[in-house]
Structure formats: structure tokens, C-alpha cells
Amino acid sequence: MSREAGMPLWIGAVVVCALTALAGGEVAYTVTDLGTFGGLDSWGYAINNHGQVVGSAANGAWEFLWDPETGVTDLSAAIGQPTKVWVRDINDLGEFVYVVAVGDDRDSYLWDGTGQARYVGRQVANFVNNSGMVLGLADLAARVPSTVVWDDRGGIRNVGFLPGGQWSEGRGLNNLGQVVGESTTDIPAAGHPLQRYYIDKDVQHHAFLWSEAEGMRDLGTLGGDIAWAWAINDSGTVVGGSYTGEGDDVHAFVWDEAGGMRDLGALAGSFGSEAVGINSCGQVIGASEFSVPWGSTNGAFVWDSTYGMRALADLVPNGGWYDLFPIDINDRGQILAIAYSGVPVEASFAHPVVLTPIPEPGVAALGVCALGVLIMRRRRKPGAILGKWGQIPK
């Protein structure tokens, strides 16, 4: 995204944050349960600033778009692909990126919602920003995953990896085209198996920040050998998880240019945490891990510089879930999470929920954001209307 195009959205986000702060007091959430759409389970992958959610339903049988005004659309039927389809992310213009299984390979496309699709290439595309840039993984050599970006202007470009490493995995993309993720920083021993589309957890790797102009930057760790970044906002603030260097302890972190990598800690009574999302207001979502009789469970949290880390379970009505895992957060402060019900875990069911803060930011503030989207759409090149989380399809 150009700096000019991004500015109206930036101004809108500032107004939204200001109104949220003026509301004062503890923020609570209403819960909208999206259900399972007729199956046993469903999963949400991303939520945009209009509250639209994309995900997978009926044990992966079909992909959906959920809109707070119009309800559910079956995207698998709209796309019309004869093979397996995964819809991965949606931007504020309603454009979404999806992956189609082609034998053992994966082809990716961008869709404008009206039947127009653009082929992105043989890769697993996971994210799309408001400028139509796509972030994904591609096999560029010897079936080793390489982080790539794609747009209409430059096609596919290899993001590369950190010095001393061999491959990388991009996990987050902002509207300025900055990419974050994790990259190996050493090379595995001869004969060590490679995991296609997954970074190898047995090889040292660090969180990275990449841009077209500056290349890849090592964000380091909290003291251990391994760190990974999950998300970046348009201010360049990065969140993720890192080993601390104290045994197997993993903690959520936030990184910015001024303060470097800072440890966010974990919820009381837990034995680890990681941050998975951040919005333009600096609100961070993530989860801490707790021991339970059947193994372990996640305790979702929301963090900001005013209140620190708070358990989401304390801020939402009791929905009867034994586990709640956050997936994404938009600039309105809405959180997309996966709620699990049923114990033991083998008998549990999952479905997406949208948590909306009370009170919501004012209509006027959201109008500024919407105006920014319209201005940005007008700045896009003619014909370039085709330009977040979860496990990558195997």
C-alpha cells in the first residue's frame, strides 16, 4: 500500500482507539456464536474491519463467508472448484485468497467475490492485505518451503531467510507490505528430514521482519534459541512467542522499533503464552497454557498498555466452553476465537465466535475508516481489484 493510500485508514484507526479509551473502565464483550453450519465442527481463519469472517465448516467439507448483516455464504459453491478448497484470508475490500489442492501441490487464487479470480501461483497463500499483496509459501527449490509475496505489479518474489538459515515461514502481513514470521538461523545436519510447508521445530530459528525496501531483519528472541512472529500492525509493532532461555518456558512478546522485544509474561497459574494477533490500537490477543486433568488447555487473553494482560474468560459471558482460543482481532477490537465444548478432548467440538467489545467505537470513527477504504479502492490500478491464521493445509 502506498503511504498516501494508507493514511485515511491510519487516521480512522486513531479515532477508533481514542473513542475506545474515552469509554473507560473494564472492556467486556458480547458473544456471537457462528455455529457449525450443520456439521460437528467449524473453524474461523480471519476477521476484517467490517466484521466479516472466513472459515471452514463441516470438517472441511466447505468454506464459508459470514457477514454480520447478510449471514452465511457457501464460498466453495461460489468458487466452483472440483477439488478441495481452503479459503485463507479476507481484506477490508471483501477480497479473499484461497488455495486449491492439485494432487500433492497447492495452487492459490485471489477472488473479488463476484466471480473474478486471479491466479497467484503454485503456492499456499495465507494472507492478503488491502493493497492486494498476498503472503504465502512456495516450493522454489527441492520442495523446501520459501516465504513469498505476490502482487499484480511484481508477481512472485522470494522473501528469503535469515543469515545462516535455509528456509522461512511468513506468518503475518500488514497494509504497508511488511511481513513477519520465523526463519531458521542454522542448517540441519545431513539427513535431517524436512517438513514441507512447516518450519522445522528442531532447528534454531528466530522471528523476522521483512520489507521490500529493507529486506529481512532478525528480531531475535527473549533469551532462548527459538522465536516466531505471528502478526504485525500498520505501525510496525510485531507480536509472537519466544523461548525465554529458562527451560521450556515460552512467553508472548511484543516488538517495536523503540523498545525492541519485550516479554508480555503469562496469565497467573499458566506455564507459557504466545501472542497471535495485534490491531492498530495496539490491542494484543493470545493464549496461555494451563494444565488440566485431560492434558492442557488454552486460556485466551487480551493485552494492552493500559490494562496489561487479562483473561478473556473474565470478560465474556460463560458460554459453557472448556477452551477458547483467539485467532484474529480487527481495528474495532472484535476478536475472532474458536470455542471448544465437550470433555474429554477427543469428544470436543469447535466453532467460531466473534467477541465484540462493549461499547463499540462510534459510528463516526468507523465512517472515517470506511472513507479510507473507498479512497484506497480508487487509487488501485484498473483491473487490479484482485489483489491469517490456522494450520497450513497438508
pLDDT in tens, the chain (394 residues): 332 334 444 455 555 565 454 444 465 899 999 988 877 889 999 999 999 999 998 755 789 999 999 999 988 888 876 678 899 999 999 999 999 987 878 899 999 867 789 999 988 899 999 999 999 998 766 666 789 999 988 999 999 999 988 888 999 999 999 999 999 888 665 555 445 445 566 678 899 999 999 999 999 999 988 999 999 999 999 999 999 988 778 999 999 999 999 999 999 988 899 999 999 999 999 999 876 555 667 789 999 999 999 999 899 988 778 788 999 999 999 999 999 887 655 556 888 999 999 986 544 444 444 444 444 433 333 222 222 323 333 3
Confidence at residue 111, expressed as pLDDT on a 0 to 100 scale? 92
In a domain, 317, yes or no: no
Confidence at residue 77, expressed as pLDDT on a 0 to 100 scale? 82
Confidence at residue 349, expressed as pLDDT on a 0 to 100 scale? 83
Confidence at residue 102, expressed as pLDDT on a 0 to 100 scale? 79
In a domain, 113, yes or no: yes
Q: Which amino acid is at 33?
A: D
Residues near 94 by beta carbon (within 8 Å), at least 6 away in sequence = 48, 50, 52, 112, 113
Domain count, the chain: 1
In a domain, 124, yes or no: yes
Confidence at residue 201, expressed as pLDDT on a 0 to 100 scale? 63
Confidence at residue 302, expressed as pLDDT on a 0 to 100 scale? 96
Distance, CA of 176 to CA of 40 (rounded, Å): 38
Confidence at residue 373, expressed as pLDDT on a 0 to 100 scale? 40
In a domain, 89, yes or no: yes
In a domain, 121, yes or no: yes
Confidence at residue 43, expressed as pLDDT on a 0 to 100 scale? 92
In a domain, 309, yes or no: no
How many CA atoms lie within 13 Å of 289's alpha carbon, on the beta-carbon side?
13
3-state secondary structure of 345: helix
In a domain, 79, yes or no: yes
CB-based contact 43:391 (threshold 8 Å): no
In a domain, 206, yes or no: no
CB-based contact 321:334 (threshold 8 Å): no
- Residue 220, exposed/middle/buried by CB under 10 A (0-12, 13-18, 19+)? middle
Q: Count other Cβ atoms within 10 Å, centred on residue 333.
A: 23
Domain with 115, as residue range(s), is: 51-131
Distance, CA of 122 to CA of 177 (rounded, Å): 21
